[in-house]
Amino acid sequence: MQLQQVIQYLETIAPPSYQESYDNSGLIVGDPQQEVTGILTCLDSTEAILEEAIQKGCNVVVAHHPIVFRGLKRLTGKNYVERVVIKAIREQIAIYAIHTNLDNVYHQGVNARIAEQLGLINTRILAPKGEQKKLVTYVSAEHSDALRRELVAIGAGQLPGDAGHRSHAGLGVAYQDGAGQAEVKMEFHFAAPLERAILRTLRHHHPDPQMPHEIIRIDNINSEVGSGLIGELSEPEYEKPFLQFVKKVMKAGVVRHTRLRSRKINKVALCGGAGGFLLSRAKAAGADIFITADYKYHEFFDADGEILIADIGHYESEQYTVELLSSIISAKFSTFAVYSTEVNTNPVKYI
């Protein structure tokens, strides 16, 4: 099994186009054509993780956080990022990162996994990226299969969480100068960020240079793509016991939170990692508590008595992503071993 086949599969779950603009998800080190001997999943691809990969006979590391984030200008081994890249190349270990694209999908995403751990029900994306569009195009029957293949190859008709494709085609007859010609009307749903790629594909592969088509915007508030998640407790719970429950389930060394409001918690908003940018969305959605990480002193004031903010730690909030990734991969592939790391890469310690 080649690495690229694994990557292709992961990208049907978390398409690269869903990553945030600042991110660097994807294959960071390695050859897509290399044969996979084993995969190790982790949050951070540190030197200790590479050592573990070697010991377990894995030549691929699938990490949540991209080890190279801002770009590298030198490779001298003067910091841990450079040392990891050098070691990975030397030991022929590929590093693949699946970061904000995995944060931003509902099905099998980072936040759904946290919600599952907390037992939330009626969950949905907190801040949907939202936009889906529909392409309608008309093409002669003989060329329709080829065009459909090209469009599907770039992700048209595919929305995260879908088992199959959302596309359909119908055969009709177009008349020109009185002569009938069989023509197919094809429709594909797609995530809005794909629009440019769709138009490029039409330009290159539509047999008619005028490439007759229309693109329709679809308003869909139940989007499957976006940041954070909101859900409900099956039974409302007082704040303090709920915070204690969260601390236990998320194995948090400490939970930093704003003043208790002496009311029961029903709606829970959450975001794995640094989710502070979603506070106003959590409030607007009527959440009683917002669980996330990386909160700074002044940002806690923004709770403003309207919501309870709980910072459970970045690593703690995302720890279940390691198992999530190994279960996603092992459910699909059986020709190599898949391991969740046993190394705790949390750089933050508590006494």
* CA–CA distances in Å: residue 336 to residues 3, 6, 41: 11, 11, 13
Token digits for 232? Answer: 């409900």
Nearer to Zn ion, 110 or 268 (CB): 110
**Residue 245 beta carbon to Zn ion: minimum distance, rounded to whole angstroms:** 22
Contact indicator for 67, 103 with CB cutoff of 8 Å: no
DSSP states of 246-265: HHHHTT-S--EE----SSEE
- The residues, any chain, with a CB within 8 Å of residue 190's CB and separated by 6 or more, are 132, 133, 134, 135, 155, 156, 157, 158, 159, 198
Tell me which residue of 346, 351, 347, 342 sits closest to 40, measured CA to CA: 342
Tell me which residue of 89, 93, 99 sits closest to 69, measured CA to CA: 99
Contact indicator for 96, 129 with CB cutoff of 8 Å: no
**Residue 310 beta carbon to Zn ion: minimum distance, rounded to whole angstroms:** 17
According to DSSP, residue 16 is labeled G
Nearer to Zn ion, 18 or 242 (CB): 18
**Residue 236 beta carbon to Zn ion: minimum distance, rounded to whole angstroms:** 30
Nearer to Zn ion, 128 or 273 (CB): 273
**Residue 346 beta carbon to Zn ion: minimum distance, rounded to whole angstroms:** 11
Nearer to Zn ion, 152 or 274 (CB): 274
Measured CA to CA, the distance from residue 246 to residue 345 in angstroms comes to 21
**Residue 18 beta carbon to Zn ion: minimum distance, rounded to whole angstroms:** 15
**Residue 314 beta carbon to Zn ion: minimum distance, rounded to whole angstroms:** 6
Measured CA to CA, the distance from residue 124 to residue 108 in angstroms comes to 13
Examine residue 231 and tell whether it contacts Zn ion (CB under 5 A): no
Residue 211's CB is within 10 A of a number of other CB atoms, namely: 17
Nearer to Zn ion, 231 or 272 (CB): 272
Nearer to Zn ion, 316 or 318 (CB): 318
**Residue 271 beta carbon to Zn ion: minimum distance, rounded to whole angstroms:** 10
Which residue's CB atom is positioned nearest to Zn ion? 273
Measured CA to CA, the distance from residue 240 to residue 207 in angstroms comes to 65
Give the largest Cα separation in the chain, rounded.
84
Nearer to Zn ion, 160 or 273 (CB): 273
Residues 263-282 that bind Zn ion (CB under 5 A): 273
**Residue 111 beta carbon to Zn ion: minimum distance, rounded to whole angstroms:** 11
Chain length of the chain: 351
Task: Tell me the window of 66-74, 189-197, 314-322, 323-331 that interacts with Zn ion (CB under 5 A).
Answer: 314-322
Nearer to Zn ion, 311 or 318 (CB): 318
Site size toward Zn ion (CB under 5 A) is 2
Binding site residues, Zn ion, CB under 5 A: 273, 318
